[in-house]
Structure 1
């Protein structure tokens, strides 16, 4: 049985304050015997204040640098996923998420799909790869990546049992209701989480930013979703920690026993998909 938790919390440009929040969240999770913790996109240094670029950019951190080493130390034996701006060298910058645990980096993903003008601030990743961890085989996605079924399917076909999607997903910027629970972008965020879990029959862990940053108001809605698309725990539209216990192998076996979505695929029939492949 794996106890997993997804965070909805606010983070900003103050890296020391971000680390203080992360330390507190990890301590709370540890006190609740959590094995796997998902923190939001851009929790180290904050998200973009302006989607069209501008001077106020997140700090770029190297995967092998002191900040990620500090995250490794904070995580200890817990598996922790956290979003950051990655310094890729040669002036490249990526919107990335790192997975750490047991004293080392376990995996890293660079966001592939860039909404609106995010490409004015970040270079784009180009792959999806699952990797082994103490809590099972994991895949990582960032925010808009989950709007594309191919992203999660690629990870599931690579053996991912759990997919962690970290986000800085905002509410509507036009015609926005006061109550985020009624916001159309909250509904879309939740729908993507449940659909991706169900169609791939995987456990889905979804973290998100909270509060406001620049012109954006984030929808929270951190959650744990089972392979049948049912939400096991959620923060709703408030900051917090969504915690659930999941027998991952048992849940996957039960979901896939009669209706195996990966097993029953017919790739030879998907002519348009095959034709578009490089």
Structure 2
């Protein structure tokens, strides 16, 4: 099976975003990709600033979309046989809240959904938090999703692995450091952490991980790109750098995961009776 994670820039123009998604899916299809992870904010972009965006100022916030609405349906039509994961800002319905959300879909419709649980301090007043981590079945096996800050917390990816996820799609709009930006992106503290979390979450759970990220600039944020595919031993199988592109890898998830767990099986070796709640 061939899988891919994308680094690409998306903004407020939904027509442009859907067109760009179509181009990326077409390139992935030409490359024989079966599973594609797109960044957070692939429909409508991300916030302009992480420090203190005004939730009442809709100019600096992404458009709030219905997961069953025309924008997601347009991606369903583009996906066809491919499994595609992507992020957007979800309208909360009657409660009036908004969520940093993701869907996984094929041409048959939405297979799974996730709302980001862990909110950075500056966004706690902008997005409501999701209430859990659930894996779901797809034509490409059991998958779970994380969004941005979720992957900072080992418990998030572990919850998906315990729920049977063999592949985890991490969808991000992850920028360079806001407080101590390095002269070169490769030396930036957030670039190091972004890669470290990707490899750690894959290795500690012995799963395949697809890490997609925004690239380019949006408001005060400069996104890292650095999309990658990581194997169950924490090895980077394919990657992009700061500019847009596709990280593409040929994988056999079941064989790779079974081999990684043949001697040391981290999920079975846990001692939850000794862990503090």
Counterpart CA distance in 2 for 1:230 and 1:236 is 16
1:53 and 2:53 matched: yes
Equivalent position of 1:62 in the other structure: 66
Equivalent position of 1:42 in the other structure: 41
Structure 1 residues not aligned, in runs of 5+ = none
Equivalent position of 1:128 in the other structure: 133
Equivalent position of 1:193 in the other structure: 198
Counterpart CA distance in 2 for 1:148 and 1:7 is 22
| SS of residue matched to 2:22 | helix
1:238, distance to aligned residue in structure 2 (A): 2.4
Question: In the alignment, which of 243, 246, 254 is matched to residue 259 of structure 2?
Answer: 254
| Divergent runs of 4+, >6 A | none
Counterpart CA distance in 2 for 1:259 and 1:23 is 41
Question: In the alignment, which of 87, 99, 110 is matched to residue 104 of structure 2?
Answer: 99
The 5 Å alignment of 1:1-278 reads 2-51=1-50, 52-54=52-54, 55=57, 56=59, 57-90=61-94, 91-270=96-275, 272=276, 274=277
TM-score, normalised with respect to structure 1: 0.96
Which of 253-262 and 101-110 deviates more? 101-110
1:201, distance to aligned residue in structure 2 (A): 0.3
1:119, distance to aligned residue in structure 2 (A): 2.0
- Matched positions, count: 271
Counterpart CA distance in 1 for 2:42 and 2:187 is 26
1:178, distance to aligned residue in structure 2 (A): 2.6
Counterpart CA distance in 2 for 1:248 and 1:14 is 36
Counterpart CA distance in 2 for 1:127 and 1:171 is 27
Counterpart CA distance in 2 for 1:194 and 1:172 is 20
1:50, distance to aligned residue in structure 2 (A): 2.9
What CA deviation, in whole Å up to 9, does each residue of 1:199-221 have, x standing for no partner? 00000000000000010101111
Pair 117,174 (structure 1): closer, same or farther in 2 beyond 3 Å:
closer
Counterpart CA distance in 1 for 2:233 and 2:90 is 34
Counterpart CA distance in 2 for 1:222 and 1:262 is 26
TM-score, normalised with respect to structure 2: 0.96
Verify the 8 A CA contact 2:90 2:98 in the aligned structure 1.
yes
Structure 2 residues not aligned, in runs of 5+ = none
RMSD, matched Cα: 0.9
1:120, distance to aligned residue in structure 2 (A): 2.1
Counterpart CA distance in 2 for 1:147 and 1:175 is 19
